[in-house]
Amino acid sequence: MTLHAARPKIMLPDFVDLFAGAGLATRGLVQAGWKPAGAIDNWRPAAATWQANFTGGECRTIEAVAPDATQWRQAALVWMTLPRIWSGGRYGAGDVPASTLLRIWGEAAASYRPIWVVCEYENAFTPSDAVHHLQGGLGWHYTLSDHPYLCPHRNLGGAVRRERRYAVFTLRGHYTPLVRFAPAPGPRGTARDVGDINVVDITLPVTPVEERGVLKPHVRRLVEYALERRGGVVTLRDDRDVTGFHEPHPHVPTRQNHMIYAYAGGWRWPTVAEWRRALGVPDEHVLMGSETTQMRMLGEGTDVRMARAIGQSIMEAARQSGLFRIGGATS
CATH of residue 305's domain is: 3.40.50.150
Tell me which of 25-39, 159-173, 302-316 is least confident.
159-173
The H or E element that residue 228 is part of is: helix 217-228
Whether residue 143 lies inside any domain: the answer is yes
Shared-domain flag, residues 254 and 288: no
Distance separating alpha carbons of residues 251 and 216, to the nearest angstrom: 22
Q: Which residue range(s) make up the domain with 242? A: 202-270
Same domain? For 55 and 148 the reply is yes
Same domain, 166 and 308: yes
Task: Answer yes or no: do 67 and 176 share one domain.
Answer: yes
Least confident of 106-110, 186-190, 253-257, 309-313: 186-190
Are 179 and 255 part of one and the same domain?
no
Which residues face 11 on adjacent strands? 324
Structure confidence by residue, pLDDT tens digits, 263-293 = 999 999 999 999 998 888 999 999 999 999 9
Read off the pTM. 0.85
What pLDDT score was predicted for residue 328? 43
Q: Domain count of the chain?
A: 2
Residue percentage of the chain with pLDDT more than 90? 25
- Give the residue among 87, 151, 90, 95 at the shortest CA–CA distance from 118: 151
Q: What is the pLDDT of residue 34?
A: 93
Instruction: Tell whether the model's pLDDT for residue 48 goes beyond 90.
Output: yes
Distance from C-alpha of 121 to C-alpha of 136, rounded to nearest angstrom:
17
326 vs 209, residue with greater confidence? 209
Same domain, 230 and 286: no
Quote the pLDDT of residue 195.
45
Task: Dump the DSSP string for 59-105.
Answer: EE-GGGS-SSSTTS---SEEEEE--S-EETTEETT-SSBHHHHHHHH
Indicate whether 34 belongs to any domain.
yes
End-to-end CA distance of the chain: 38
**pLDDT tens, position by position, 173-202:** 765 555 555 554 555 678 876 444 568 888
State the pLDDT at residue 52: 95
> Does the pLDDT of residue 84 top 90, yes or no?
no
Q: Is there a single domain that holds both residue 34 and residue 84? A: yes
**What's the pLDDT at 3?**
43
- Residues 305 and 244 reside in one and the same domain: no
Q: What is the mean pLDDT of the chain?
A: 79
pLDDT tens track for 22-44: 999 999 999 999 999 989 888 89
